[in-house]
Amino acid sequence: MRKNSNKNKRINGEVMKVISEAIRYSKDPRISPMTSVMDVEVAPDLKTCKVWVTVMGNDEDRERTLEGLKSAAGYVRSTLAKELNMRYTPEIRFIMDDSIEYAIDMSKKIDEIAAKDNEARKARGEENED
């Protein structure tokens, strides 16, 4: 199976749904309730699976959640085996995805620069061009 085939995309989507549900119902107190599965990439041979997760919170929450997810990988894998009928149940590797935090930070910086630009225009007596 090729990496970007339709079959691989369908498998990634189904695996993502099952892993999201398994994380939501896991009982590990280290896993933050604000954990989201951003993307899943199952290898074409179905042996490995990379799961990108994001956690809203501080760095300590992220570290604890990643530790809890690594600990719960066996539970998630067994849930995946029960829910999906696949030839192999992939070995799961969790990866922290900081793209949302990065986007929020960049948005704040853009808003700050736009506000400073508007103040500079007003100080020069120019009209606002929104």
pLDDT digits (tens, 9 = 90+) for 17-52: 999 999 998 888 999 998 999 999 999 998 999 999
- Please report the pLDDT score of residue 103 as a whole number: 86
- Please report the pLDDT score of residue 4 as a whole number: 74
- Please report the pLDDT score of residue 38 as a whole number: 93
- Please report the pLDDT score of residue 128 as a whole number: 59
Q: What is the pTM of this model?
A: 0.77
- Please report the pLDDT score of residue 72 as a whole number: 92
Contact 41, 95 (CB under 8 A): no
Tokens of 101: 């935090």
Residues lower than pLDDT 50 in the chain:
none
Looking up tokens 């309730």, which residue turns up? 33
